[in-house]
Chain A
Amino acid sequence: DGGITQSPKYLFRKEGQNVTLSCEQNLNHDAMYWYRQDPGQGLRLIYYSQIVNDFQKGDIAEGYSVSREKKESFPLTVTSAQKNPTAFYLCACTGVDSGANVLTFGAGSRLTVL
């Protein structure tokens, strides 16, 4: 079955450390996204990529970095510059399946800074 795989599901980080969250999709979709979810708030866009080797900053990109070296992979690095990184992170992709535009999410990664 096609879908998005995020890992790890839970991650603990000490202050000052960089961590990388993995996002892999086998849907052959071009566009991929990283969102951050905090309690009581809607999903906020961190970065998105419409095509391999190209990505754009979202609304809250400071303290994060991404790469898109392969169509199926869009890893997110949370750097030590991100002041409040504890949150739930969701990866998504969108593309055409059976003639319809579909939006698919991964199961999420919960990052806690100790």
Chain B
Amino acid sequence: KNEVEQSPQNLTAQEGEFITINCSYSVGISALHWLQQHPGGGIVSLFMLSSGKKKHGRLIATINIQEKHSSLHITASHPRDSAVYICAVRGAGNQFYFGTGTSLTVIP
């Protein structure tokens, strides 16, 4: 059983579309991270959330602690947004649990 579930696994969008990636988790957490991984491997942290909503440019992340659910939204998607997006939660003792990732392809 995975502590973190993401959906969808794969997503293809036309440039300009609004995109939503969902993350549900089953453990108690102190924070949730949205990560981005481009081909070639390095992972970058996009957001760290413990409540509410954060916005950075065209990216918006929300979290509902009661429902154990988070969403990552991309407005006006662009081909450079093509990447794997990974949801990670920080549990007790600085342990992290990771989703399997959502592979996003944005077509021009």
Q: Which residues of A does B touch, CB under 8 Å?
A: 31, 33, 35, 37, 40-43, 45, 48, 50, 88, 90, 92, 94, 100-108, 110
* Besides the known contacts A45-B96, A101-B31, 5 further A-B residue pairs in the complex with CB atoms under 8 A apart: A31-B94, A43-B88, A50-B93, A105-B43, A107-B41
| B45 contacts A43, C-beta separation under 8 Å | no
| A104 contacts B45, C-beta separation under 8 Å | yes
Any chain A CB within 8 A of the CB of B98? Answer: yes
Q: A100-B48, A102-B48 are in contact. Are A42 and B98 (CB under 8 A)?
A: yes
- Residue pairs across A and B with CB atoms within 8 Å: the count is 58
Q: Which residues of B does A touch, CB under 8 Å?
A: 2, 4, 30-31, 33, 35, 41-45, 48, 86, 88, 90, 93-96, 98-101
Interface of A is mostly: strand
Interface of B is mostly: strand
CA distance A50 to B86 in the complex (A): 23
CA distance A107 to B2 in the complex (A): 25
| A33 contacts B43, C-beta separation under 8 Å | no
| B100 contacts A40, C-beta separation under 8 Å | yes
CA distance A92 to B30 in the complex (A): 18
